[in-house]
A = this chain, B = another copy of it.
């Protein structure tokens, strides 16, 4: 992606201040390890080795493995959660399609899977994930607010809840390693999902 490995040059202190080169090398090494080996290979020790960084340097800025993981996660580029194509069905297709592509082709899938897995073990990760998801549902609910303004979906549809529902399916596919969904198959899924959301 960036074209360079986690640790190209030797680094050292640049005085009584944080060294951004070390910070970058550590975060990049962490992401590489997640992508290549998954959460099982992800440890402070392994990241330090790969980044040619000292363990105390990592522990100074990222007190726990979970915090480092979440930092890697937050540095990702995220997909547009509320595309506006003019129709609810194509909006949802676009959103899910973008999510799948992001998870499939980039590093996003491996990182996000790891965050979810970590949340099953670490309350800090669980709390962070909950907060993040709530924000995303709020933002993404815009799709349904717009559609309601167009009288395209029923009154009783709750935007945030609908958002949560339509993203659930791809979550499950991510966690069960079945992300490769052909466009026509995805269209069928969206058809299942959307038809009930339309006003009669």
Chain A residues in contact with chain B, CB under 8 A? Answer: 38-40, 113-114, 116-117, 119-122, 126, 129-130, 133, 154, 156-158, 161-162, 164-165, 167-169, 171-172, 175-178, 188-189, 191-198, 200
Contacts and interface: CB of A to CB of B under 8 A. Distances in A.
Contact of A191 (B117, B156, B171): B156
Q: Which of A121, A129, A156, A192 has the most CB of B within 10 A?
A: A192
B129 A176 contact: yes
Given A156-B191, A169-B164, A188-B158, A120 B113 contact: yes
A133 to B, nearest CB: 6
B121 A39 contact: yes
Contact of A192 (B129, B165, B171): B165
A119 B176 contact: yes
B177 A130 contact: yes
A175 B39 contact: no
Given A161-B188, A168-B172, 19 more contacts: A38-B121, A39-B120, A39-B121, A114-B120, A117-B117, A120-B175, A126-B176, A157-B192, A158-B188, A158-B192, A161-B192, A164-B172, A165-B168, A165-B169, A165-B189, A171-B172, A175-B175, A191-B196, A194-B196
